[in-house]
């Protein structure tokens, strides 16, 4: 869930598994864009 991503990286994680979240999404393309936007500050 992109909403929990900040806490994941702030806790020290180097990556997050997102494949299932994207593939199960109604609109995988939009969900991918959402993940890309959300991770921008961490890249």
Structure tokens at 42: 């961490």
What pLDDT does residue 7 have?
A: 92
Residue whose tokens read 């969900």: 31
CA 33 to chain centre: 9
What pLDDT does residue 43 have?
A: 80
Length of the chain: 43
Domain boundaries, the chain: 2-42
Query: Can you tell me the distance from the alpha carbon of 29 to that of 22, in angstroms, rounded to the nearest whole number?
Result: 8
Instruction: Look at residues 10, 16, 24, 23 and name the one whose alpha carbon lies nearest to residue 2.
Output: 16
Consecutive sets of 10 residues in the chain, 43 residues long: mean pLDDT of each? Answer: 91 93 97 95 83
Query: Can you tell me the distance from the alpha carbon of 12 to that of 5, in angstroms, rounded to the nearest whole number?
Result: 11
What pLDDT does residue 20 have?
A: 96
pTM above threshold 0.95: no
């Amino acid at each position: 869930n992109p909403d929990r991503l900040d806490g994941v990286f702030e806790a020290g994680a180097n990556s997050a598994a997102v494949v299932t979240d994207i593939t199960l999404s109604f609109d995988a393309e939009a969900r991918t864009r959402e993940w890309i936007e959300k991770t921008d500050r961490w890249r």
